[in-house]
Structure 1
Amino acid sequence: MKNLRYYLLLMAFLPGLAFSQNLAEKLGYPSDAKVLIIHGDDVGVSHSQTKATFDAMKIGIVNSTSMMVPTGWSAEVGEMAKEMPGADIGIHITLTNEWLNFNWGPEAGRTAVPGLANEKGHMYSNCAEVSANASPQEVEMEIRAQIKTANQMGIVPTHLDSHMGCVFYGRPEYLKSYLTIAQELKIPAMINQQIVDNIINPNSALFEGINVDHFPVIDQLFMAEPEDYESGMEEYYTNSINNLSSGLNLILIHLAFDNEEMNAVTQGHDTYHAPWRQADYNFFTSEKARELLKKNNVKLVTWREVGKTMQF
């Protein structure tokens, strides 16, 4: 009884003590655990992309993905998701269209968000053009339209992230809308410490009302660059897994098959093309990748699991 009184007294004076666990502990792991999300971007951009990603989630170690809603094959994501109830699927907020002959316009419609459409009615090819033309109001309208359409396809997103990083590298108001909407939906929005330090903290007045501390922050993010592809994807990903730190790690990959369709989609690009995406698929469906996780005692988690640790 004496110990119980002492405990209750301690809790009265230290109300934050119960919330002192780090993310790994909240997920049920030791405080120094290496926690990892292996995330396949861009489902919905093509049949090849979507099929490869869902296959890698079924037979490989990929455990998360996010869909590009305005693209031509996005409806297939809803159909494939029926085969994997509970799959970790977010919305890959899409504000750009970087391909030469495979094009799409804004989900909200070019008349509703004219700043997100070029003279052909397609989205711009890069984030700089988006920032120069799209108002924060248009971007927020487009984010909401993409989520609404995904819902109509049967997708209830587990998280939000950003295609080509335009939400992060555009106007700070874009990031505000991104976080505001995630907070409304009570789901994670992918951010790392660099975003917090370089965008959110210097613009604290803009982000007033958003409980940034409630969002999980990625401790370490890995995504292959062109020089990594040239050196060999297996080497890059092997080194990445061997060098994971304790905390929340994220490996961003782009899976597809090196087939006629994907080569046509990525025509004119010498990065993130069909062979690159096939290399991602090959590694993350390999036994070597699975053994590396075991060797390094890595704990795979999903955005869905991470979201359950958030307090709104």
Structure 2
Amino acid sequence: MEGKRVPNKIHNSNERFLIVTADDFGMCHSMNEAIMNLYQADAINSSMIMMPGPWAKEAAEYAKNHHNVNVGIHLTLTSSLPAYKWGPVTRSSRIQSLITAEGYFWEHAAHVEEHATAEAIRTEIRSQIEMALTLGIEPTHLDSHEGSLLGLSRGRDFLEIVFDLCQEHRLPFKLPVNIVNQSFLDLEMRELMTERIESARKRGILLIDDLINLPYHLEQGEDYDIAKVKMMEAIKGVGGGITEIVIHPALNTYEMRAITPHWKKREIEYLLFMDEDIHRLLQTEKIQLTSWKDIRDRQRMSLAFDREETV
């Protein structure tokens, strides 16, 4: 999927732009294969790599050797699968607050908010970015795996730390502006997200407008046909500005079945974006494809222009 240059004022655009992103690149071989197949079929235009993932090196090698592969860093601080675990890439006692007694990341974002120190968060996410750079990845953006940096569980977020690193590496961050309108946020969290969105704006960090992330698990009675209808309705509902659809594609393998009971939903999401009906719908709806690389490049041009203006 070739992207189109993002307009200058991406949040005021009446045009509909879409990023199609495959999540959890590097988590396991079955997901890597699915994501690589989708790239080869020109069915996605973005992915997010988990640097602590057991198969991150394979994903990084693929990204480095294929110019059309746009990869953001999926900053990972949780390990929620029961029997398939990972821990920090930092080898230091400074990040002890991020791990369990077994040495793995905490299971849920709520545990991160309860236990993690700001110093440990900053150290580990910096290490993940530096590891990606060392492996030859040119990241398009930063993002938070399972929302552990957003403060949605206990109201303790780490976004200003992430924004520091966004500024340092001149990268956008995946925080949809429309999050402030979501019913799952209480008034206090809406105010917090509004403050963080304004902070990103002042720092020159670009955000997207909206996010489509279908349920991780199969819902009651859901099969491929029902999931396809839901995906098509979601695409039809894309509004003005930039929206991202996030999928979790995987092949149906013994590995995937052993890792998660939700393997079927991941296989369905893989097959959905191999489906020509989905591609035709994007054309029928006159939705223009863009990418995180386009947003990153727009942000860097803006920052360069601002610097020239102040000289």
The TM-score bracket by the shorter chain reads 0.7 to 0.9
User: Which position in structure 2 is the counterpart of 1:274?
Assistant: 263
CA distance in structure 1 between the aligned counterparts of 2:172 and 2:221, rounded to whole angstroms: 33
Asked whether the 8 Å contact 1:47–1:73 carries over to 2, the reply is yes
Are the equivalent residues in 1 in contact too, given 2:141–2:172 (CA < 8 A)? yes
State the number of aligned residues: 281
Secondary structure in structure 1 of the residue aligned to 2:7: helix
Question: Kindly tell me: are residues 213 and 110 of structure 1, through their superposed partners in 2, closer, same or farther at Cα, counting changes over 3 Å?
Answer: closer
* C-alpha distance 260-53 of structure 1, shift in aligned 2 (>3 A): same
1:234 and 1:283 in contact (8 A); partners too: yes
Structure 1 residues 291 and 143 mapped into 2: Cα distance closer, same or farther (>3 Å)? Answer: same
Q: Name the SS for the 2:21 alignment partner.
A: strand
Matched, 1:190 2:174: yes
| 1:264 counterpart residue number | 258
Q: Distance in 2 between matches of 1:145 and 1:123?
A: 15
Q: State the one-letter code of the partner of 2:270.
A: Y
C-alpha contact 2:159 2:196 (8 A) present in aligned 1: no
Give the Cα separation in 2 of the matches to 1:24 and 1:255: 26
Question: Which position in structure 2 is the counterpart of 1:47?
Answer: 29
Q: What does 1:218-229 align with in structure 2 at a 5 Å threshold?
A: 218-225=208-215, 226=217
Deviations 1:160-206 (A, max 9, x none): 011001111266551111111011111111112255754244579xx
Cα displacement (A) at 1:85: 1.6
Amino acid at match of 2:109: C
Structure 2: state its 5+ residue gaps: 181-189, 304-311
User: Residues 277 and 212 (structure 1 numbering): CA distance in 2 closer, same or farther, change over 3 Å?
Assistant: farther
Pick aligned residue for 2:165 from 181, 188, 195: 181
State whether residues 166 and 205 of structure 2, in contact with CA within 8 Å, keep that contact through their aligned partners in structure 1.
no
* Cα pair 1:256 1:274 within 8 Å, conserved: yes
Q: Which amino acid aligns with 1:287?
A: E
- Structure 1 counterpart of 2:295: 306
Q: CA deviation at 1:31?
A: 4.0
Work out the CA distance in 1 between the residues paired with 2:22 and 2:196.
Answer: 31
Q: Are 2:235 and 1:246 aligned?
A: no
1:66-102 CA distances to partner (integer Å, 9 max, x unpaired)? Answer: 1000111110012211341242101000000011221
Compare CA radii of gyration and give the structure with the larger one.
1
Structure 1 unaligned spans of 5+? 1-22
Q: Which residue matches 1:33?
A: 15
Which aligned segments of 4 or more residues in structure 1 are displaced greater than 3 angstroms? 170-173, 194-198, 200-204, 210-213, 226-231
Percent identity (aligned): 27
